[in-house]
Amino acid sequence: MIPLRPSPLNSSIIALALTALALLLSIWLGTYLESGRYLLFLVAVWLSAWYCGRTGGLTAAIASVALIVFLFLRPETFPMLAPKGNLVLVPATFLAMALLVTWVTASWRESRQLLSSTLSSIADAVVATDREGRVTFLNAVAETLTGWPRSEARGKPAAEVLRLIDEKTRQAVENPLARALRDRVMVAMDEHTALVSRSGAEVPIEHSASPVRDDAGELRGGILVFRDISKRRQLEEQATHAQKMDAVGRLAGGVAGDFNNVLTVITGYAELLNAEVPASSPLRRFVDEIVHAGERAAALTQHLRAFSRGASAQPRVLDLNAIVSGMAPMLRRRLGQNIELILLTSPGLGRVKADAAQIEEVLANLAANSRDAMPQGGKLVIETADVDLEDGPASKNLGLKPGSYVMLAVSDTGLGMDPETRSRLFEPLFTTKPPGQGSGLGLATVYGIIKQSEGQVSVYSQAGCGTIFEIYLPRLADAAAEPARKALSKGSETLLLVDDEEDVRKLMVAVLQANGYEVLEANSGLTALAAYEKNAHKIDLVLTDIMMPQMTGIELGRRLAERAPGLKILYVSGYRDNPVVSSLGEAPRDFLYKPFTPEALLAKVREVLDAARA
């Protein structure tokens, strides 16, 4: 059977068919319709208006009037339907009645269609029932959530179509429509209600049920409006998680800033001691262990700074081969004797632009992750290669634009991962290690660093088959790696050193004085201003910590710049995620992060002084 589409032509055809049927029935039942011989024509008009709207009703009315006039003019055609009365009055009366039936019926039909269309277009699910609680209507959203088509749900008890349970207790919940019909009140939502669809799937919902009354206040049925809140819950959980992570990040950044002051002293004196103890001395290995512990602590604070958004990248042109080769000794020491480290570096590798310290941190994190995945030993392979990605499935699967990249791959023969673990690998604080043995920040930091460098990281792993991390960084065209820093030269300039941490200040004074610099000390901003007033004629550079009581290093720098606009100032801090520190702008040139080694301090001081003369 081919369904007829709603159209004026189809409506007219149906109306004419109903009118013809009314004529046939009138002829057949003529002897029984003596007093109401035109009643079936009115029924045809009503049916036409009900199913086809105003067009059908008017067509049926005109056709019926035409038949009545024909019967007046040719009564011998159908004697049993021969009309009585006035030729004008009878058709006119019938036409008036037919038009009234058409208008009332079509108006009712249009109002019902408007209500149905409105409820169907609502984004929430809507279920309506009669006064006995049997379903009379479901919109499309309700059909999707409940799994019941409207045709099958109509006439069924609401409790059968709407199966509700408490998410916490897993017990059945009273149907809100039943309560609304019973108590004649609106039933508010329950925060922990889940809808069990016809297929058994559970969807968390919020709902509101109300009784439906007519103008006289009589109960006519009930209506339930509900919505799927799973996406909203997910967004709320993400927002809560983001707030929690922000609080943890601020705490981590504060801890990193305080710890960097202590670590600067430890690593600084360890480096000085390392330079004094001969390599043949039996005490040298103890010094090396102190230096190694300082490196590990510095890596930890780098984790915390990156996690708290306190670490600012300082990108430059890099040769990944040089970084991998330079880290090999440290990685072998961390991996232990039962894990073999294999380097497969590609000759003539292209250059990338990234922060060298961050790339080293990425390698250290991935190596540590692989080490933990190989408790019985195995192989760790670090590979570099130039890769050209064309527009196609390969680049789309990696989430990269077509172009030239440098690939850094770290693979191991460890335990591997299942799909669920792999899907959450880069989530902050996610770890598969026992409590107390993993921070859950390592791989999240890796992901953040690579994305900050406009790269991409992908993971290939199966349980029992090891893991491969592939990192893609944009390859620079015709770029040479920045030359290594020149050997440090001693200086003879006069420096004003300002730091409220006495241990840090003593270390810096010892390092600077040992390399020929004259150092004036100050433990606060006010003391530094007084020292500058007395020695302004010979001070070449001011080194100041930023976070100090009473007067910050930023304020001190502003005041000194007002008195001596050309004065060079080198800022020192272990924590950038602070409004005071951030006021310097993004990655200022004259800035030194804690913790730093004596070599890094001397190099930065020399760089700032030489830049002033250039």
Q: Which residue has the higher pLDDT, 433 or 603?
A: 603
* pLDDT 10s digits, 441-480: 667 778 878 888 888 888 888 888 888 999 999 998 866 5
Q: Pull the structure tokens for residue 401.
A: 């634009």
392-403 pLDDT per residue, tens? 665 555 677 888
The rounded mean pLDDT for the chain is 80
Who's near 377: CB < 8 A, 6+ residues apart? Answer: 338, 339
Task: Name every residue whose Cβ is closer than 8 Å to that of residue 342 and which is 6 or more positions away in sequence.
Answer: 379, 380, 381, 382
Q: What's the pLDDT at 484?
A: 44
Q: What is the pLDDT of residue 496?
A: 94
* Rg of the chain over all Cα atoms, to the nearest angstrom: 42
Residues 6+ apart with CB under 8 A from 492: 516, 517, 518
Q: What is the mean pLDDT of residues 323-331?
A: 87
Tell me the sheet residues that pair with 224: 127, 209
- The burial of 434, by beta-carbon neighbours within 10 Å (0-12 exposed, 13-18 middle, 19 or more buried), is given as exposed
Does residue 577 surpass a pLDDT of 70? Answer: no
The whole-number pLDDT of residue 518 equals 92
Q: Write out pLDDT tens, residues 84-131.
A: 767 778 788 888 888 888 888 888 877 776 666 666 667 788 888 988
The 10 Å CB-count burial string (b at 16+, else e) for 152-170 is ebeeeebeebbbbbeeeee
> Using an 8 Å Cβ cutoff, are 14 and 56 in contact?
yes
> Strand, coil or helix: what is 134?
strand
Q: Which domains does the chain have, with CATH numbers?
A: 8-118 (no CATH), 122-228 (3.30.450.20), 320-480 (3.30.565.10), 494-613 (3.40.50.2300)
Tell me the Ramachandran region of residue 478: left when phi exceeds 0, alpha when psi lies from -120 to 50, beta otherwise: left
φ and ψ at residue 410, rounded to 5 degrees: -125, 115
Q: Give the sign of the dihedral formed by CA 202, CA 203, CA 209, CA 212.
A: negative
- Name the pTM for this structure: 0.43
* Run of H or E including 322: helix 320-335
How many residues are listed for the chain in this entry?
614
The average pLDDT across 490-513 equals 89
CA distance 202 to 398: 34
Tokens at residue 337, please?
């004797």
Q: What average pLDDT score do residues 378-386 get?
A: 92
